[in-house]
């Protein structure tokens, strides 16, 4: 999970890692406790995503078969590669940024091979096998999102050379890990960080506390994020094509222009934000589409805006 660095010692056996930080997945090394926990996580999250995830994510879960057993990554890769050209590569855990971007650009998605402990069923900082597989892999079956992620990876070297990696990492954090999308059925989740977690999925869609702001590339790149708490702001896509099309932009002048602007705190609205508004219930007055009601009234938005300090 790009950008979410742990202050504690990294888990995973890095002694077996190759130069590109891949390892062999030892299927025989998973314990009975691991298999039981995997089944528990799959059963819980598979039910939840039916009502909270976007259709594209659910279709990916169904295409992958929703197996209750710990997946063998090489076999799943054969299936995904036939659909979108992506393969899964086993890694010990967090890997260096340059290696991570290189894998994405080559349509190889890094998947941690270790699984959380039973007492960590609801939350852990580092990405484990369940987060990486259940949270990320279903959308690798979707052609547009799969193309976006490869294009995102291709931007990595450029960001590192421009000393702008935090900007690019925010795009991954908000739009891959914690993204929301407007659909004919209402606001839905697609981010891996929420859909692999029961509690944040409900919070992101149902709580009145966080801000939900329509996607804007510059706004996302300026916005700080929360690592050890629920997000204070979520960004909403109208569709996945909007995210892919943003990759056609030359990010180098964008990085330069953002240098003169202050970061935006995670819990802050700023002037120009288009706040997502849920559709009006049938029979109620006003617009009936979240898209049409995205621009809040000036007076209401002015009351909630708090300008960030650099």
* Catalytic machinery residues: 131, 136, 177, 196
User: What is the chain written as a DSSP string?
Assistant: -TT---SSPPPS-GGG--TTS-----GGG--HHHHHHHHHHHHHHHHHHHHHB-HHHHHHHHHHT--SSPP-HHHHHHHHHHHHS-EEEEESS---HHHHHHHHHTTEEEEE-----GGGSS--SS--HHIIIIIIHHHHTSHHHHHHHHHHHHTHHHHHHTT-HHHHHHHHIIIIIS-EEEETTEEEE--HHHHT-HHHHHHHHH-SSSEEEE--HHHHHHB---SSS--SEEEEES-HHHHHHHTTS-HHHHHHHHTTS--B-TT---TT--B--PPPPTT-SS---TTTT-S--HHHHHHH------
Contact 85, 108 (CB under 8 A): no
């Amino acid at each position: 999970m790009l950008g979410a660095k742990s202050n504690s010692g990294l888990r995973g056996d890095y002694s077996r890692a190759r130069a590109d930080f891949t390892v062999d997945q030892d299927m025989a090394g998973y314990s009975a406790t691991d298999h039981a926990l995997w089944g528990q996580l799959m059963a819980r999250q598979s039910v939840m995503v039916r009502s909270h995830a976007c259709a594209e994510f659910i279709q990916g879960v169904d295409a992958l078969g929703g197996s209750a057993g710990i997946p063998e990554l090489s076999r799943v890769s054969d299936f995904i590669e036939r659909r979108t050209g992506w393969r899964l590569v086993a890694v010990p855990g967090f890997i260096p940024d340059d290696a991570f971007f290189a894998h994405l650009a080559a349509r190889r998605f890094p998947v941690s091979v270790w699984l959380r402990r039973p007492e960590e069923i609801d939350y852990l900082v580092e990405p484990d096998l369940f987060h990486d597989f259940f949270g990320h892999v279903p959308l690798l079956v979707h052609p547009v999102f799969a193309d976006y992620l490869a294009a995102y990876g291709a931007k990595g070297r450029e960001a590192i050379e421009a000393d702008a990696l935090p900007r690019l990492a925010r795009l991954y954090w908000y739009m891959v890990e914690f993204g929301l999308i407007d659909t004919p059925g209402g606001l839905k989740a697609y981010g891996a960080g929420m859909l692999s977690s029961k509690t944040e999925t409900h919070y992101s869609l149902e709580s009145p506390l966080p801000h939900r702001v329509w996607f804007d590339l510059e706004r996302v790149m300026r916005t700080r994020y929360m690592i050890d708490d629920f997000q204070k702001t979520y960004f909403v896509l109208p569709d996945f094509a909007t995210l892919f099309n943003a990759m056609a932009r030359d990010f180098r002048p964008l990085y330069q222009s953002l240098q003169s602007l202050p970061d935006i705190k995670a819990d802050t609205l700023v002037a120009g934000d288009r706040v997502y508004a849920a559709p009006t219930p049938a029979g109620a007055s006003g617009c009936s589409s979240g898209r049409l009601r995205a621009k809040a009234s000036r007076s209401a938005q002015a009351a909630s805006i708090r300008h960030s300090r650099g």
